[in-house]
Amino acid sequence: MKESPYPLEKFLGMRYYASDTPGTGGRLRERAEDFAVDEVFAAPGDEGPYLVCRLTKRNWEMQRAAREIARQLGISHRRVSWTGTKDTHALTTQLIAIYGVRENDIARVTLGDIEIVPVGRSQQPLSLGGHEGNRFSITIRDTRSSDPGRELAEVAETCRQGIPNYFGIQRFGVARPVTHLVGLHILKGDLEGAVTCYIGRACPGEDPAVREARGEFLSSRDPAAALRSFPVTLSYERAMLHHLVSHPGDYRGALCSLPPRLLSLFVSAFQSHLFNCTISSRMERLGDDFRIPHAGDRLLFPDGKEDVVSSPMLQAARTMASRGRCRVAIMVPGSRPVQPAGEDDSAMALLLARHGISPEDFARASEIVGTRYNGALRPAVLSTDVAWTVAGKDVTLTFSLGPGSYATTVCREFMKADPASMV
């Protein structure tokens, strides 16, 4: 185990690696095919108002892809649903469901680097996390390891034993990791702060002209002037600005001009930040023993059953965990009050208190956003079998993950590189 040296990872709560190798370095996503994601899903049915399609896209952000598909079909983007928000700079295959369209209608969709093939129908829209998992084939370019075989084997063994199940950088925004900050504003009831943060907070990796435009908006708070300087590619920011021009001071309405799924991600991103921080606290407290159950820990079973480890059942819990029958989990906070059971719960409660956030705040945010934030258990440890090949200075990793776990979390264990080279 070793500490990350990167300020951005620490900012997002990702403070530690489970492995202690120097890291291979290298770069991800030199080309889309370097980051290939195939969704694992159950076969759809053949009846229902939702047309289920297999969507293959190259270098498309999912929200934008859904909006463009809907535009070409002449329908609202709200009629398009999916189970997982895949990586943008990647070659990805997944299911989407579109309400009220026929198979023949799909022929009208002609978008570069997008292929849509009808595969069935459904009575219900797809929901986030509703797939079985994802298969990854990821190539890391220009690695620096002097003994790649030894290092890759060591990290692969660590991944088999278990690494922290961090939410990856994509959860917070690849080019501009601010979504959790917007979510914090929403939870505090500061909707003006949420809007101005999303529109105006600049990040170093952005185009200088965009950073300047954001800064000018923060200074002037003039939406009409901002519209003249914000490029058309920043469609979400422009939608909020248009709303503020026509409805001055209506910050709730400005937020609600965003696609529902994007809007729901803000508070979820803050929950993810709290989760990352709590895992890091657990690793700091327990070292390599973060993987195994301790008294007061929460357990999550494959069938969804939950339990809390008591002292008398400690050894039994460790035996079950070692056999894959349960996993240590951390409670992601929400509107449901939680009675602290152990050290992880106490660490989470301390974080919430520092931010001044209560269950009532999550309930109020749910009313604004239209998404329930009840809270849920999430496994603290990610375990996977990683196969690897080496071709010169390039390394290819292949592995599978369940819904909600991030491939970049696996890659960072191997690379230990600046997060900027991983997006």
CATH number of 179-260: 1.10.1510.30
pLDDT of residue 399: 97
pLDDT of residue 404: 87
Phi, psi of 242 (to 5 degrees): -55, -45
Question: ∠ CA 201-206-207 to the nearest 5 degrees?
Answer: 120
Is the pLDDT score of 174 beyond 80?
A: no
20, 34, 87, 222: the active-site residue: 87
pLDDT per residue as tens digits for the range 187-207: 999 999 999 999 999 988 788
**Domain 42-122 annotated CATH 3.30.70.3160:** yes
DSSP state of 169: G
Average pLDDT over residues 37-41: 91
Tell me the pLDDT band of 347, cut-offs 50, 70 and 90: very high
pLDDT of residue 42: 84
Average pLDDT over residues 257-276: 93
pLDDT per residue as tens digits for the range 207-251: 899 999 999 999 999 999 999 999 998 999 999 999 999 999 999
Beta strands in 304-393 (DSSP E): 306-308, 327-332, 376-379, 381-382, 387-391
Average pLDDT over residues 105-127: 93
Burial of 143 (0-12, 13-18, 19+ CB in 10 A): buried
Average pLDDT over residues 256-277: 93
Q: What percent of the chain has pLDDT over 90?
A: 82
Tell me the pLDDT band of 279, cut-offs 50, 70 and 90: very high
Would you call 87 a catalytic residue per the annotation?
yes
Among 280, 312, 318, smallest CA distance to 299 is for 318
Average pLDDT over residues 148-171: 95
Is the pLDDT score of 87 beyond 90?
A: no
Of 98-102, 128-132, 330-334, minimum mean pLDDT range: 128-132
More confident call, 14 vs 369: 14
For residues 171, 175, 180 and 182, what is the CA-based torsion angle, rounded to 10 degrees?
-140
pLDDT of residue 85: 80
Is the pLDDT score of 423 beyond 80?
A: no
For residue 56, the surrounding DSSP H or E stretch is strand 50-58
Is the pLDDT score of 175 beyond 80?
A: no
- How many residues comprise the chain? 423
Average pLDDT over residues 405-417: 95
Q: How far is CA 261 from CA 38, 91, 241, 320, 370, in A?
A: 21, 21, 19, 37, 10
Among 114, 135, 140, smallest CA distance to 29 is for 140
Is the pLDDT score of 159 beyond 90?
A: yes
Long-range contacts of 203-212 (CB under 8 A, 24+ apart): 203/175, 203/176, 203/177, 203/178, 205/175, 205/176, 205/420, 206/175, 206/176, 210/234
Tell me the pLDDT band of 147, cut-offs 50, 70 and 90: confident
**Residue 395 pairs with which residues in a beta bridge?**
140, 390
Among 5, 329, 292, 332, smallest CA distance to 162 is for 292
pLDDT per residue as tens digits for the range 356-406: 999 999 999 999 888 899 999 999 999 999 999 999 999 999 999 998 899
Residue type, 401: L
Q: Is 0.85 topped by the overall pTM?
A: yes
Give the C-alpha separation, 30 to 141, whole Å.
7
Average pLDDT over residues 129-151: 90
Domain ranges of the chain: 42-122, 179-260
